[in-house]
Amino acid sequence: MTPQNAKLAKSALPLVSTALVISLLAGCAAREATLPNDVTTALASAFTRGDVDACADLYSADAEIISNEAPTVRGKDAIAKFFKDQVARDILFATDSTVSMVNGNLAMDQGTYRVRNVNRGVDVEYGSYLNVWRLENGQWRVFRSMYNVTMGPKAHVSVAPESDDMPVARAAS
């Protein structure tokens, strides 16, 4: 390479780098940037239908459900049992995805959820969630599901005896 050609190649380097970055960004823009809506709402739909199997099927074999309210649920069998204990026909489960990002075979979906007792017409729980999804054989599966209960069922605690038959402690004289 002659000194003149080397100088020309060096001055063209920023243009080539800029063109390369633009073409890479254009390729990224054409790729999926967020999870499809039917993926982010699949759990709420299956839960509300009362379809325990469909709920569990959304999770990978090595998935975990992590909560501030209960021990971590690990594995597909435990997750199926978890949903069997949770799903009820009088319960509406709804989510509102506020952030969704896809990067290759991994995705993240964050938002809020609410559980409503339709018979009583009141929300019985709500909070926030974060799901990490993994693409497995062309299907998005939840790999990690974390939720934080903001408002949940109230525990009724009483210090009063349940009946008059209960012994009353008396102070010694």
pLDDT score, position 169: 47
Q: Which of 28, 46, 47 is nearest to 101 (CA)?
A: 28
Of 94, 95, 93, 59, the C-alpha closest to 79 is 59
For 74-88, the pLDDT digits (tens) are 999 999 999 998 888
String of b and e for 77-109 (b: at least 16 CB within 10 Å)?
ebbbebbeeebeeebbbbbebeebebeeeebbb
Specify the pTM. Answer: 0.68
Asked if the structure places residue 169 within a domain, the reply is: no
115: in domain: yes
- Domain of residue 4 covers 1-31
CATH at residue 79: 3.10.450.50
Same domain, 135 and 90: yes
Q: Sign of dihedral through CA atoms 142, 146, 152, 155?
A: positive
Mean pLDDT, range 58-67, rounded to an integer: 96
